């Protein structure tokens, strides 16, 4: 299967918009890579350059080592599945799936074999005679996939193929697409703005922001070791709690304090973040994922130096778990967007404005994802035990994660 290499891929639209900047990526044969990022970050533009539907400003797209920059889309042996998979309404599912092959002049018996095989893989065998209007949303989506599969391409490029489906169907179809991709072993690049889709489907996930690749890694690596604040906030739901904190050495131990709270770091944590000693006595951004906290009263062990005492503001019963929101009287992390909003009287974006408000007033809202055994009640104190082995640290100036390299900390 095709290996796809992007070398310094860059797109500047005629109006000057820099949509993709200096993108480097190696996609191995048979690999499933997901491009994820907020709206406008350049995912679709990157995909369209790979497909040959968008001209390349500079850099290269290579398929199996060959530069294809000037190769027309039809000669790239790539099949695309789009968000708007407009099926031909007057053709049944089988004809829709086989149409491209017919246009290529394949004999009808060969087309029939390929369509039947794709239908089998997709669980569509009983619906081949149906016209699109009598198919369910999920079946229509499968027909669109079928159109790509019958072409037996070297690679699939998919652009938000599930965004027209309802939430339940999306969950079903994302498992289905991942399974089909594994079975067929076709190199796949998949674009989505949905981080859950990215994390559950991709062998590797490429996180983009403002046309720049932030990090590309396997889902677990992305989650456990986000390279910077943007990736840390973007991946995970509810999002990672972030707060300004201070690292201090006291009586031979290293502590991280934020507002009135203080946690003692254990040796293993310090070893994993061996850049941390360089921040002794300085500010860092501390990140705590919601699931790395538990109610100390029901926790197996909760030593006092790993517990923060807070007041539960909101309790959300999710059935399987409980989300507890509480306020931490410490400084919020002022990301660049928020700082800009602070100087703009009427920030247009409501979310940015609210973030700026919170930053102004001091105090940060934390969300903890607690076991349903918790008896935390709204407006009542609750002791929250923090798993200090899973803390995250970032440089407050650069937003870069403080992991291994002490050199990066200076
Ligand atoms: P979405 O998830 O909303 O589709 P995206 O991450 O796929 O977003 P792109 O569609 O690649 O982002 O757009 C990247 C940037 O390029 C955006 O700022 C967008 O406004 C801009 N852009 C896209 N197409 C054009 C065009 N034809 N001319 C000028 N600018 C464009």
Question: Domain holding 81: CATH number?
Answer: 3.40.50.300
Residue range 262-287, pLDDT digits in tens: 999 988 888 889 899 899 999 999 99
Percent share of the chain, pLDDT over 90? 70
CA 44 to ligand 1: nearest atom: 7
Mapped onto helix, strand or coil, the DSSP state of residue 192 is strand
Of the candidates 56, 36, 4, 65, which has an alpha carbon nearest to the alpha carbon of residue 234?
36
The confidence score (pLDDT) of residue 323 equals 97
* Predicted local confidence at residue 338, as pLDDT: 53
The answer to whether residues 292 and 197 belong to one domain is: no
Number of domains into which the chain is organized: 2
Q: What is the pLDDT of residues 237-247, one digit of tens each?
A: 999 999 999 99
Q: Is residue 405 part of a domain?
A: no
| Confidence bin at 299 (pLDDT 50/70/90) | confident
Kindly give the distance from the C-alpha atom of residue 335 to the centroid of ligand 1, in angstroms, as a whole number.
23
**What CA–CA distance (Å, rounded) separates 55 from 19?**
12
CB atoms near residue 203 (< 10 Å)? 17
pLDDT at 360 (0 to 100): 57
Across 317-335, average pLDDT: 91
The whole-angstrom separation of Cα 347 and Cα 341 is 6
Going by alpha carbons, the residue nearest to atom 7 of ligand 1 is 44
Whether residue 144 sits in one domain with residue 109: yes
Per DSSP, the residues of 365-396 read EEEEEEETT----TTSEEEEEE-GGG-EEE-T
The pLDDT of 221-228, averaged and rounded, is 94
160 belongs to a structural domain: yes
Atom 2 (ligand 1) nearest CA: 39
pLDDT-based confidence at residue 339 (cuts at 50, 70, 90): low
- The answer to whether residue 244 is domain-embedded is yes
Do 382 and 298 meet the contact criterion of CB atoms below 8 Å apart? no
Q: Indicate the average pLDDT of the chain.
A: 90
**What is the per-residue pLDDT across 83-100, written as a single tens digit (0 to 9) for each?**
777 889 999 999 999 999
- pLDDT surpasses 60 at 47: yes
Q: Is 70 exceeded by the pLDDT of residue 380? A: yes
> Range of 136's domain?
4-230
Minimum CA distance residue for ligand 1 atom 16 = 19
Q: Which of 198, 230, 262 is the endpoint of a domain?
A: 230
Q: Round to whole Å and give the CA distance between 198 and 211.
A: 18
Query: 403 in a domain, yes or no?
Result: no
- Considering the domain architecture, whether residues 130 and 279 belong to the same structural domain is answered as no
Main-chain dihedrals φ then ψ at residue 45, nearest 5 degrees: -60, -45
High-pLDDT (> 70) share of the chain, %: 91
Residues 100 and 196 in one domain: yes
Gap between the Cα atoms of 367 and 287, Å rounded: 12
- Looking at the structure, tell me whether residues 261 and 324 fall in a common domain: yes
Closest CA to 78 of 95, 53, 42, 102: 53
User: Ligand 1 centroid to 390 CA: how many Å?
Assistant: 36
Q: What is the mean pLDDT of residues 330-338?
A: 73
The residues with which 12 forms a beta bridge, in sequence order, are: 18
Whether residue 136 sits in one domain with residue 267: no
Q: Given a cut of 60, is residue 341 above it in pLDDT? A: no
Q: Which atom of ligand 1 is nearest to the CA of 191?
A: 7
Query: Sorting pLDDT into bands at 50, 70 and 90, what band is 407?
Result: very low
Q: Can you give the pLDDT at residue 408?
A: 38
Query: Domain for residue 181, yes or no?
Result: yes
- Angstrom distance (rounded) from CA 79 to CA 155: 6
Instruction: For residues 58 and 185, state if they share a domain.
Output: yes
Q: What is the pLDDT of residues 133-192, one digit of tens each?
A: 999 888 898 899 899 999 989 999 999 988 877 888 888 888 889 988 998 899 999 999
Residues 8 and 104 in one domain: yes
Residue 200 lies in a domain: yes
Same domain, 242 and 222: no
DSSP 93-148: HHHHHHHHHHHTT--HHHHHHHHHHHHHHHT-GGGTT--GGGS-HHHHHHHHHHHH
Nearest residue CA, atom 20 of ligand 1? 40
Provide the pLDDT for residue 363: 84
Q: Note whether 152 and 199 are same-domain residues.
A: yes
Domain's final residue, options 230, 255, 277: 230
What's the pTM value of the predicted model, to 2 decimals? 0.88
* Cα-to-centroid distance, 18 and ligand 1 (Å): 9
Q: Answer whether residue 404 is part of any domain.
A: no
Name the DSSP class of 11.
E
Distance of CA 396 to the CA centre of its chain: 23
Assigned domain for 116 exists: yes
Nearest residue CA, atom 26 of ligand 1? Answer: 13
Residues in contact with ligand 1 (CB, 6 Å cut-off):
13, 15, 17, 19, 37, 39-45, 193
Say if CB 24 and CB 195 are below 8 A apart. Answer: no
Strand-strand pairing, 78-81 and 155-159:
parallel
Give the pLDDT confidence score for residue 406 in this predicted structure: 40
Ranking 40-44, 60-64, 222-226, 399-403 by mean pLDDT, the lowest is 399-403
In this structure, are 270 and 187 located in the same domain?
A: no
CA of 211 to the centre of ligand 1 (A): 9
Residue 190 shares a structural domain with residue 126: yes
CA distance 334 to 355: 9
């Amino acid at each position: 299967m095709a290996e796809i290499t992007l070398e310094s891929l860059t797109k500047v639209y005629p109006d000057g918009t820099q949509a993709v900047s200096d993108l480097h990526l190696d996609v191995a044969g048979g690999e499933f890579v997901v491009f994820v990022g907020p709206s406008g970050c350049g995912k679709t533009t990157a995909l369209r350059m790979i497909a040959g539907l968008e001209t390349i400003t500079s850099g290269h797209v290579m398929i199996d080592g060959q530069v294809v920059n000037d190769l027309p889309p039809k000669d790239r042996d790539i099949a695309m599945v789009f968000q708007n998979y407009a099926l031909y309404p007057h053709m049944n599912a089988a004809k829709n799936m086989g149409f491209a092959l017919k246009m290529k002049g394949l004999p009808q018996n060969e087309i029939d074999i390929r369509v039947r095989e794709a239908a089998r893989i997709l669980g569509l065998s009983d619906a081949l005679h149906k016209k699109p209007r009598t198919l369910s949303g999920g079946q229509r989506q499968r027909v669109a996939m079928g159109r790509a599969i019958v072409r037996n391409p070297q690679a699939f490029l998919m652009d938000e193929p599930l965004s027209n489906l309802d939430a339940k169907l999306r969950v079903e179809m994302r498992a289905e697409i991942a399974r089909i991709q594994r079975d067929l072993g076709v190199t796949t690049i998949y674009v989505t703005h949905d981080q859950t889709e990215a994390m559950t489907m991709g062998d590797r996930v490429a996180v983009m922001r403002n046309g720049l690749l932030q990090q590309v890694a396997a889902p677990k690596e992305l989650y456990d070791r986000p390279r910077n604040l943007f990736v840390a906030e973007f991946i995970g739901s509810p999002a990672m709690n972030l707060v300004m904190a201070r690292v201090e050495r006291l009586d031979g131990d290293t502590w991280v304090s934020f507002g009135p709270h203080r946690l003692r770091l254990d040796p293993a944590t310090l070893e994993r973040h061996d850049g941390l000693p360089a921040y002794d006595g300085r500010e860092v951004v501390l990140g705590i994922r919601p699931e790395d906290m538990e109610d100390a009263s029901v926790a197996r062990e909760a030593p006092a130096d790993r517990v923060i005492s807070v007041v539960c503001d909101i309790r959300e019963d999710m059935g399987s778990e409980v989300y507890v929101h509480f306020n931490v009287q410490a400084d919020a992390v002022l990301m660049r967007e928020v700082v800009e909003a602070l100087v703009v009287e009427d920030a247009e974006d409501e979310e940015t404005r609210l973030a700026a408000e919170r930053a102004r007033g001091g105090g940060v809202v934390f969300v903890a994802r607690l076991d349903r055994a918790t008896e935390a009640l709204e407006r009542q104190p609750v002791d929250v035990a923090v798993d200090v082995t899973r803390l995250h640290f970032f440089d407050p100036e650069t937003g870069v994660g403080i992991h291994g390299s002490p050199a990066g900390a200076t």
